[in-house]
Amino acid sequence: MLKSLFHTGFVVKDLDAAVSFYSDVMGLTLTGRTERTGEFPSTLLGFPNTHIRGAFLDMGEGHQLELIQYINPVGGVAEFDKNNVRATHLAFFVEDIDRFYADTRERGVDYGTPPVAMHDESGKLLRKALYCQDPDGNWLELVELY
């Protein structure tokens, strides 16, 4: 029986650059780094002589983001748009999405659109949201609830 969510994992090309993006730009806290070789990762992941580096980041609420760089075997780059099967995204609640949007754009985050408002039938503002990608192309959704 499932108990709770543990983490979301993204494979990245450069672990240090990804950690910098998620901590310096997005504001997550680095909670630990790992490096794995040997029987456990090779058996779990199904690659002989697996060597991975990883990092965990969070916001102190339990769910963590795991970043994984494959040293061996090195993988290719898969391109997924938001509407492709197997495309994934990680969503964050944001306080003051307009300010967050402006601040992170100044730090180099490229958004397709500014925050988009969603209203109910009566015109009441329910939320604002937007999408971006991290440096490795993983999709992120930012949401402010009203």
The verdict on 60 and 106 lying in the same domain is no
Show the domain range for 98.
89-145
pLDDT tens-place string over residues 74-103: 999 888 888 888 889 999 999 999 999 999
Give the per-residue pLDDT at 4.
Answer: 87
pLDDT tens-place string over residues 15-43: 999 999 999 999 999 999 999 999 999 99
The verdict on 110 and 66 lying in the same domain is no
The verdict on 51 and 93 lying in the same domain is no
* Residue that terminates a domain, selected from 72, 98, 121: 72
Q: Judge whether 134 lies within some domain.
A: yes
pTM over 0.75: yes
* Residue that terminates a domain, selected from 72, 98, 114: 72
The H-assigned helical ranges of 11-143 are 15-20, 39-45, 97-106
The verdict on 65 and 25 lying in the same domain is yes
Give the per-residue pLDDT at 44.
Answer: 94
Give the per-residue pLDDT at 2.
Answer: 79
Q: Judge whether 2 lies within some domain.
A: no
The H-assigned helical ranges of the chain are 15-20, 39-45, 97-106
Q: Distance (Å, rounded) from C-alpha 97 to C-alpha 33? A: 30
* Cβ-proximal residues to 87 (8 Å cutoff; 6+ apart), any chain: 80, 81, 139
pLDDT tens-place string over residues 44-84: 999 999 999 999 999 988 899 999 999 999 999 888 888 88
